[in-house]
Amino acid sequence: MSYPQLLTPEEKLADAKKLLSLPRIVVICGSTRFMTEMNEADLRETNAGKIVVKPGCDMKSPHELWSDPVAAEALKVRLDDLHRAKIRLADDVLVVGDYIGDSTRAEIAYARSLGKPVRFTHPEVDPDA
């Protein structure tokens, strides 16, 4: 007797997106030094009919939420976890900027390990090119 294949969480999510007729979801990655460019990419991707998720905090700019170094470090860990969740949610990844640091490099590797297509505003910085 054969049993039906159980769907993975990723397959269930893909099926749910189809059932809900959701547009493609793109996650923007990159250094927060490129927040202006990320906002422009958000505008263009939204204009193309996509749902856009991107970093919501620019910890390079002063703010009371990360003024305390201990709180800032804890927040950075939470934000990294949150961004990985955004990558899992997304259909593809857009890397913004002409510089790839360690965090962005890790996000690219994570996205690719999940089979997510990765695009670059500056393809020459693709660490796997």
pTM greater than 0.85 (yes/no): yes
Residues of the chain with pLDDT under 70: 1
CA distances from 77 to 50, 81, 83, 102, 127 (A): 28, 6, 10, 14, 23
Res 1: pLDDT? 64
Quick one: which H or E segment has residue 88? Answer: helix 69-89
Output the CA torsion sign for 17, 21, 23, 24: positive
